[in-house]
Amino acid sequence: MLKRIYFCFAVLILSSCKGKVETIKPEVSSITESVYASGIIKSKNQYQVFPSVSGIVDSVWVTEGDTVKQGSVILVISGKAQKLNKELAALSAAYSDADANRAKLDDANMLAELAKSKMLNDSLLYFRQKNLWEKQIGSKLEFEQRQLAYANSKTAYNSAVIKYNDLKRQIDFSSLQSKKNLQLSDAIENDFSVESSTNGIVYSVLKSKGEIATPQTPVAIIGDASDFILEMQVDEYDILKIKKGQNALITMDSYKDRVYEAVITKINPLMNERSKTFLVEAVFIQRPEILYPNITFEASIVIKVKQDALLIPRNYLLNDTSVINKNDEIIVIKTGLKDYRKIEVLSGITADDELVKPAE
């Protein structure tokens, strides 16, 4: 009686174990191989606004959500010292202006003309005395005196011309230099007004009146109001599969249970050494009506699509190369495309084979 009970108990155990074996037959269906990526949505032309100078924020001209145009003032940094420098540059420009120094040039030119007249007169007297001396008329001393006077007046005239040209060059240089200094002062003063470099919308203002602004920290974030870019990180293992023009299926926590289509537009060729990923950009083919920068998303980048493929669940693979049939035979197979649930079988089994799930 006891042996019969043990026998029945063993049969029940075997029956129970046998009932837990999972089997399937391969199915013929379509499969899509894709690469997973995650990222954030950014506004097109989104950038951080940095000031060119350091100082205390004097006034803020925009708030979050404002629409701005290229050249619109975002905020103004106090620049009292720069205003004094500009006034000093303006005074210097006025003092050094060529028109303001015209009298000096006229005076130098007049001296040069007087020296020229004296030279011409001494030249006339010299050549007259020379002709007389050649005819043995007059004295040699008188001839030499005329010759010396002509040479001195000629030297004086050349010196006057050189002084005039030097003065003119100096005045022109000082005038141009002072004007350039004034332009430089104007440009520096404009740096105290931080402006938008693009048309768009103000997404964030990071400084308030009275706070310190420096060129090392942003004061605002501005981007396009309607166009958005999807920036995603792709693992280095998958990057060679990614090409421009490939489609991507986008899901977001903000729009649960909805899938949006996008297309790959750019692949950044430099890998991030810390994360071992590449930056890939895409744009929506169809997009939600409302979007905000920095919304996170997940993407499935479509690599290949195949119809009428022989598919089995990935968890029915043994060592990634084999399967087990209902007769407990291990069959080596050749695989093809795969997604996160199923894998294509290229050879080794048919749709009529019954497969057993390997024990975990």
Nearest by Cα to 176 from 237, 97, 251: 97
Q: How confident is the model at residue 20 (pLDDT cuts 50, 70, 90)?
A: low
CA distance 6 to 104: 130
Do 358 and 320 share a structural domain? yes
**Looking at the predicted structure, is the pLDDT value of residue 315 above 80?**
yes
> How does pLDDT run across 83-100, given as a tens digit for each residue?
666 667 677 777 777 777
CA distance 171 to 163: 12
Q: What pLDDT sits at residue 221?
A: 93
Residue 9 located in a structural domain: no
CATH number, domain at 29? 2.40.30.170
Do 182 and 118 share a structural domain? yes
Residue 286 located in a structural domain: yes
Say if CB 200 and CB 67 are below 8 A apart.
Answer: yes
Do 326 and 298 share a structural domain? yes
Q: What pLDDT sits at residue 74?
A: 92
| Structure tokens given for 87 | 């006034």
Q: Which of the pair, 101 or 148, is modelled with greater confidence?
A: 148
Q: Which helix (H) or strand (E) holds 259?
A: strand 255-267
Q: What pLDDT sits at residue 103?
A: 82
Do 342 and 250 share a structural domain? yes
Do 319 and 235 share a structural domain? yes
Q: Which amino acid is at 82?
A: Q
Domain span at residue 129?
A: 81-191
**Looking at the predicted structure, is the pLDDT value of residue 278 above 80?**
yes
Q: What pLDDT sits at residue 87?
A: 67
Q: Where are the alpha helices (DSSP H) in the chain?
A: 2-19, 80-96, 102-134, 140-191
Q: Which DSSP state fits 318? A: B
Say if CB 336 and CB 311 are below 8 A apart.
Answer: no
Q: What pLDDT sits at residue 7?
A: 37
Tell me how many domains the chain contains.
3
Measured CA to CA in angstroms, residue 60 lies from 81, 199, 206 at distances of 20, 18, 10
> How does pLDDT run across 176-219, given as a tens digit for each residue?
888 877 777 666 666 778 999 889 999 999 999 989 999 999 99
Residue 35 located in a structural domain: yes
Say if CB 351 and CB 26 are below 8 A apart.
Answer: yes
299 forms beta bridges with 37, 250
Q: What is the residue-averaged pLDDT of the chain?
A: 84
Give the rounded percent of residues in the chain with a pLDDT score beyond 90. 32
Do 248 and 232 share a structural domain? yes
- Among 10-24, 37-51, 100-114, 272-286, which stretch is predicted with the lowest mean pLDDT? 10-24
Do 283 and 346 share a structural domain? yes
Do 144 and 115 share a structural domain? yes
